[in-house]
Amino acid sequence: MNADTENQLADGSFEFLSIFLEGLPFIFLGTLISGFLGTYLPRGAFEKILPKNRTLAVIISGFLGAIFPVCECAVVPVIRRLVKNGLPVSCALSYMLAAPIFNPITAYSTFKAFNSSTDVMFTRLGFGYLIAVIIALIAARFAINNILKSSNDQKPLHEHHHPRNLTSALQNSLRDLMDVGLYFAIGVILTAILKTAVVDPNEPFWKDLGANFAGGTIGMMILAFLLSLCSTSDAFIAANSFDHFPIGPKLAFMIFGPMVDAKLIFLYSTVFKWRFILFLTIAAFLLTGIASWIAQNHLISDSPKAPVEDLLTP
């Protein structure tokens, strides 16, 4: 093995472990919640909680991230179980796509990363929410067997009375942890390989894309997909590492990434069919592109500078 390969293997291993170690406790938290929801939440509970009107229900579900803030890794096992327990898929989608962006933690990090700019923060949260709701409303028109994997179908022919005890909840949690953890690991392996062996955001190719809006927006969405950053930290990367890009493409990076990235698609595959994941990716890509254009031309005039805190104090 030559030195380059050894370095790449060492760096890839480091990258893989850092994402896996960071993500696993959140996945565990998500699966713990999902296990207990699966056991203790009565079927049909959502019919009582959510409005009968599907559109209104989707709109409200998109706001849930503000009340139950979860990151994109933890949200997948939760919605997986909620869907099994009768939450309409469109509502689950609305929550799943909006929650990583439309939550107080992401709002604060975006605010700080863009030098206390409320414009950037509200534009990101607003478009993140809007795109999630639009995709969910479109998905509501699909037949459910075109969206969900068969194991997640909501088609029990009769009611089962499952035992509602701790062991049952933990068993659900373990099963979810194993399913989601497996796909998470696959996604992280792919991300680590892409980041250490394939993608170099400092290459002239990526830098030159910043010169025009369309290229910059597409490039930043592809980078967001490949880099698979957390929604809580991606704003800092967008603000600091891509200074040569205008604000529109930066927003595209921060909106598209938390909805679709290399590791997330494997997590989504625990719930959705691959064909639907492809639809989700294309829809998010197009809608984010439009949002980026609107933001660039009508909402935010200039990219606020990356902040520098009090640099003098040691």
Partner 1 sequence: MTSLQARLFGLIASLWGGLLVYFYHSGRIRRYLEQDFHQLILIGGIGILILGLFFVINPKDKSSTTCSHDHHHHDSEDHHQNCDHDHSDCEHDHDHQHDHCDHHHHDEGHGPLVTALLTLVPLTIAMAYTQDQYTVTGKTIAKKGLYEAPAINQTFKFTREDLEKRVPKNSLGEYQIRLITAYYAAGDKEMQPIFEGLPVELEGRIAPEKLNNEEGNRLRIFRSIISCCAADMQIIGISLDIPEDIERPKLNEWAKAGGTLDFEKINDTIYPVLRVRGFMPAEEPYSEFIKRQ
Q: Which one, 115 or 294, has the nearer CB to partner 1?
A: 115
State yes or no: residue 143 binds partner 1 (CB under 8 A).
Answer: no
Instruction: Report in angstroms how near the CB of residue 17 gets to partner 1 at its nearest.
Output: 5
Instruction: Compute CA distances 253 → 51, 101, 176, whole Å.
Output: 33, 12, 30
Q: Which one, 136 or 148, has the nearer CB to partner 1?
A: 148
Contact region with partner 1 (CB under 8 A), list: 48-56, 223-231, 250-258, 284-292? 223-231
Assess contact for 107 and 141: CB atoms under 8 A: no
Angle of helix 274-294 relative to helix 213-227, nearest 10 degrees, comes to 140
- Token reading at 31: 């699966």
* 126: exposed, middle or buried (Cβ count in 10 Å: 0-12, 13-18, 19+): middle
Q: Which one, 191 or 217, has the nearer CB to partner 1?
A: 191
Q: Which residue has 């609305």 as its token pair? A: 94
Question: For the window 169-208, what string marks contact with partner 1 as x by the rule CB under 8 A?
Answer: -xxxxxx-xxx-xx--xx--x-x---xx--xxxx------
Instruction: Report in angstroms how near the CB of residue 260 gets to partner 1 at its nearest.
Output: 17
State yes or no: residue 211 binds partner 1 (CB under 8 A).
Answer: no
Contact region with partner 1 (CB under 8 A), list: 58-66, 107-115, 120-128, 129-137? 107-115
State yes or no: residue 11 binds partner 1 (CB under 8 A).
Answer: yes
State yes or no: residue 47 binds partner 1 (CB under 8 A).
Answer: no
State yes or no: residue 229 binds partner 1 (CB under 8 A).
Answer: yes
Instruction: Report in angstroms how near the CB of residue 284 gets to partner 1 at its nearest.
Output: 21
Q: For the segment 26-45, give every residue that binds partner 1 (CB under 8 A).
A: 26, 28-29, 32, 38
Cβ partners under 8 Å of residue 140, min gap 6? 54, 58, 88, 89, 90
| Phi and psi angles of residue 311, each rounded to the nearest 5 degrees, phi first | -85, -15
Cβ partners under 8 Å of residue 147, min gap 6? 89, 139, 272, 273, 276
Q: For the segment 274-293, give every residue that binds partner 1 (CB under 8 A).
A: none
State yes or no: residue 14 binds partner 1 (CB under 8 A).
Answer: yes
The CA-to-CA distance between both ends of the chain, in Å, stands at 42
- Token reading at 21: 């170690």
Among 168, 269, 294, 299, interactor with partner 1 by CB under 8 A: 168
State yes or no: residue 119 binds partner 1 (CB under 8 A).
Answer: no
Q: Which one, 8 or 294, has the nearer CB to partner 1?
A: 8
Instruction: Report in angstroms how near the CB of residue 28 gets to partner 1 at its nearest.
Output: 5
Assess contact for 128 and 101: CB atoms under 8 A: yes
